[in-house]
Structure formats: C-alpha cells, structure tokens
Structure 1
C-alpha cells in the first residue's frame, strides 16, 4: 500500500496511523510536554503505539498531569516522567544520568521545549534564557544520550534527533555567534530577536549533528506551523506577541497574519520527523507542513561554516566534546 501524501491539514494521528508498525517497539523521549502544547499532543499520539514514551519537563506537577491525561485515553500507555530543566547545565546532566540508567535504548529524541518569549533574562549558567532552552541545554542532552541513541541502531534502523524550530528563523539575517557565548542585552531590543537567534541555532545544530554522525544518527529540524499553544497563552508572552502581530489586541490568534493549525496539525510535522521512513534518504532535512522544505531554510541557517562554528562554541560552553 502506498504511503499517504501529507500536507498542512495532516494531523499527528494521521501520521501515527500510517507508520504504526514503525512506531511499535520504539522508545521516545520528548521535551516540553505540558497539556495544550504540541509536545503533549505528539507524546499522546506516540503513546498509542510506542513501547515507551519519556515525557520531560521542569515542572513535576505538569508532568504528572500530562501522564494522567495520556493514560486516561490510553490506559496501557508506558509513560515515564523525567524532570528536566534545560536552563541549567547541572540539571541537564542530572536528567541525562537518569536516562542513561534506563535499561532501554533510545530510538527517538525530540527537542520540543522552548522558553517563554519574554524580556532578556540570564540562566544560572549565564546564558540567554531562550538560547539555553532551545539550543545549549538540548545540545548537552543529546551529547549525554548519544550512547543510548547509538544503542538503538541496527541494520534496518537509524535513531533520530528532532529539533522544533520555526519559520521565524528567517526573520533574521545571521546567527550572532558572539551573542551565543556572551549575551548582551544591548544587542537585541526585543524578546522576539532572541527567539529568532534561538530558532536559527536549532536548524544549524540539526544539520551539523547529521553531518558529524555520518549516518549513525539522523537529525531533522522543522517548522510546526502557527498553533495557539500554552506558551502563547502565558501572560508574560502575550504582550510581545500582540506587539508583533502574532496575536490580536485581545490575545487571540491573528488569522489575518497567517493560517493557524490545531494542536493535532501542529504536532504532525514532529511525528513525520520522528517516524516517516521516506526521510531515511535525507538525514538532515528541514520539514514544513509534514514534507521536506529545505528551500525554506534561510541562507544564514544553511551555511555549513556557521553550523560548525556554533558546534565548537557550544562544546566550549558546556565544557564537553561531542564525539561519536
């Protein structure tokens, strides 16, 4: 039976149904899984078929609520909670050590979590908060879990790492490598500009990971679409989202600006990146509306020299070399 054609309106349920046999027996870790987010929706759908879904987040109470909600719908789901604060290198190392004690290998690692788009803020390690949650923390976590991912590799299967980026990466013209290492509040006037930097780093990390892994791990980045998730509904985020026109004056999706997706549609591209076997031939693709869309990657995020430099800088920031 031919595989279906996916598009803007495809849902995560559609993708999972098409690749149910590929999901069976797989172990998946996904970050940012609070209810009413696309990470939760991806976890919910994967839990119907996967052997194990590890839901990760910094708030243990939210993790508990997410697990309860998934098991209410899928009583037999194998869910494991992982407390993970991506804004702290020490916390990432603690979470990484916990996962490395699990007996199971890891087939798919999905970096879905993001920091709220709020005014300039530094983490405990001195990193800009959005860059820490979107890139630096996930980079370290991937490095720590690489042995688990490689343990899932076989002649017929290559493990995958997915980073959820955004079309907004193209609103910038460069990744400021100096600002990654030495953030300066005077450099960028708005939270949105830091967001663009973080989402640019997502794409560059994925492409460089795929290049360095040399076929041992496949890495994909993606634009999920515009979805009215929990992060856009946070009071500290609304003001800036209204200011740039993403939300209307009353804090609702601005449908005149661009088309909006449901949660199910928003999680679909993540599911494609995680399980669609057609991507095996392109281990570093950028996805948009559930299909490859490398032509939509802005020039500054398609530059291999920038990707290599970002990798080296991030290794220095986390104090660890990432080798395979």
Structure 2
C-alpha cells in the first residue's frame, strides 16, 4: 500500500481517505465531539468510512447538532449519540454500560474530550475538575470498555486507544500527584493543572500498552496550535492573548504556526488508523508522525506512569483487567 506523506498542513479528511481500507468495517468512539472542535472534525472524517461511529458530549442538544452536521455531509453514516460527562464518574459508568450493551465490538476508542483553563472547582466526586475530566474520567471510561475493545481483536488486528494530549505538557512539571489525590484551592494554578493532565494522557497511553501485554495498542498525540471552540472560554482567551498567541482582538496571531481545525484533527486520525504504527505501540505523535523525542522526560518516565496508574485505580476503586 502506498501511503502519501503527511505534514502539519495535512487534514483529517486526507488522512481518512488514505486509510479508508483500515477504517471500513471498524466501530469507533470519539469523546468530545461538539461542532467547532477537534473531536468533531475527527469524527466527521471517520464517519465517511466507519461501520459505526459513536460520538459523545455532555450536552444533548449540542450532541444532536454534531450528529446532524455529520449526517448532512455523510448521509449514510451510522452515527450513535452517547451522553457522557467525564467530570462525573457516575455519568462515565452509565455511558460505559450503554456502550457495553451494544452488540458491536469497539475497534478504536479516541479519548479526545478535555476541560481546560478553568478556575479551581471540585467535582461531585471530590476531584479537581481538569484532572477529573482530562484524566480520571477517560481512565475509568477506558477501563470499563476494555471487554468491548478486546472483543474487536483478531489475529490480524489489535484494537487501539488514542489519547489527545498537547505540547503544553512540555511547559509544565508533569503530573501533580497531590493535586490529583488531594486537590487544594490554595495551591491551584490553572496552567499547571492543564499541563499536568496532558502529561497524564501520555503516561496513561504508555502504561496501557504495557499492562495490556500487547492486547491493545495505545497512542498519544499533540494536535498542534488550533483555534477551536475552546476559545469560547474567556479564561483561555485571556491566557493565550497574554502569551501573545492571540492578538488583542482574540484572534490567532499570524506570527505563530496555527493550524485549522481539520489540520488539528489529522494526527488523531493517523494515531487511530495508520498501519505503520502497529509496531510502535505507546508512541507519541506530532504532525502525523511518531515524535517520541518530543515527550518531556517527566511524561515518559516509567516510574511516573506506574505511579499514576496505581493512584488512579485507587481513585476509581477498580483495577484494570485484560
């Protein structure tokens, strides 16, 4: 098979077209698929070829808008809407039970949804909101779907789990284990919290492959600098304006390498379907290629990965079984 070269300018649709044979017949779940975000563009590209596309959101009305937009472009797409609030563990359990009740196996799980740049807030489970939404919720969701994911395995195919991380992980000091297990408003820092959760995504991907003993291929990735609906958040806009990434009017500063949303979603689709990654499980991708050298040391440290996994299992009160 001849695969075209990808770059920072490659779109999700171009990647999906290149890997259409890999997507056909597959059942795929993408979290966080609101119109105007990377998850939506990921889902839109995959919908053209997938056997079943499951999209999620915590808001039923916005989820319906996403479904309608996908169906408008791909009328024959098989789309299933799942209400999922990753910041609330009871919602995670309910959503996982709904998926586990479906007859189809799950070939690919894409953990895309994330909360960012918010003030300190505890969830109903007593977790800091960003760590809950970006790490603990996806961790539990993945754990509960493991039987459904393993059911997709065959001698020719290894199921995949993808975690959308960020280059922002390199600007932080890694996972704040105290913030994860004993959140404290007095010690909270918005940027560090977000960056720590993105480190957690990378560590989880590495450890998931390791603990599954090859039964699951897990990957993490950096989508790049993308102007998405996340900037509807005034705090995010203020932070990025202060750092110079946005102009004073809140629009992308052309001095930086901003990607369009379809370009930002391309690396996610690559991580989910590129057959060249079969022998590179646990890899971190950037601009659609393996870029493990870009992982900060604290986010590739096996000891950190193991510690994070064990602590998160204690938080959710369940252990992964493969």
> Structures share a fold, TM > 0.5?
yes
Inter-partner Cα distance in structure 1 for 2:157 and 2:124: 38
Which residue in 2 is equivalent to 1:282? 280
SS in 2 for 1:163: strand
Structure 2 partner of 1:89: 89
Gaps of 5+ in 1: none
Deviation at 1:284, TM superposition (A): 0.6
Equivalent in the alignment of 1:55: 55
8 Å CA contact retained: 1:118, 1:240: no
SS in 2 for 1:232: helix
Runs (4+) of structure 1 exceeding 6 A deviation are: none
Deviation at 1:42, TM superposition (A): 0.7
Aligned equivalent of 1:240: 239
Tell me the residue number matched to 1:147.
Answer: 147
Cα deviation for residue 180 of structure 1 reads 1.0
State which drifts further: 165-174 or 136-145.
Answer: 165-174
Q: Distance in 1 between matches of 2:292 and 2:44?
A: 28
TM-superposed deviation, 1:3: 1.3
Asked whether the equivalents of residues 219 and 283 of structure 2 are also in contact (C-alpha less than 8 Å), the reply is yes
Distance 1:232 1:193 in 2: 18
Q: Confirm whether residue 194 of structure 1 aligns to residue 202 of structure 2.
A: no
1:313 counterpart (298, 311, 314): 311
Q: Distance in 2 between matches of 1:160 and 1:80?
A: 19
What per-residue deviation string (whole Å, max 9, x for no partner) do you get for residues 159-194 of structure 1?
0000000001000123221221111122233x1111
SS of equivalent to 1:283 = coil
Does the CA contact (< 8 Å) of 2:231 and 2:237 recur in 1?
A: yes
- 1:237 match: secondary structure: helix
Structure 2 vs 1, CA of residues 183 and 295 (structure 1 numbering), >3 Å: closer, same or farther?
same
User: For the Cα contact (< 8 Å) 1:232–1:241, is it kept in 2?
Assistant: no
Aligned to 1:303: 301
Q: Deviations over 1:72-114 (max 9, x none)?
A: 1111010000000000010000000000000000000001001
Deviations 1:206-244 (A, max 9, x none): 100011111100000000001100012333432233233
Query: Residue 165 of structure 2 contacts residue 221 of structure 2 at CA under 8 Å; is this kept in 1?
Result: yes
Q: 5 Å matches for 1:113-124? A: 113-124=113-124
Please provide the CA RMSD for this pair.
1.1
Superposed counterparts of 1:23-42, under 5 Å: 23-42=23-42
Q: Is the 8 A contact 2:173 2:192 kept in 1?
A: no
CA deviation string 1:32-68 (max 9, x = no partner): 1000111001101100000010001100001100000
CA distance in structure 2 between the partners assigned to 1:37 and 1:236 by the alignment: 17
Out of 259, 266, 273, the position equivalent to 1:261 is: 259
In structure 2, the partner of 1:134 is 134
Higher mean C-alpha displacement, 235-244 vs 109-118: 235-244
Q: Distance in 2 between matches of 1:233 and 1:83?
A: 21
**Aligned pairs (5 A) from 1:71-86:** 71-86=71-86
Deviations 1:135-162 (A, max 9, x none): 0000000000000000000001000000
8 Å CA contact 1:225–1:289 kept in 2: the answer is yes
SS of corresponding position for 1:53: strand
SS in 2 for 1:33: coil
CA distance in 2, matches of 1:197, 1:253: 25
Cross-structure match for 2:221: 222
Q: 1:183 to 1:244 in 2, by over 3 A?
A: farther
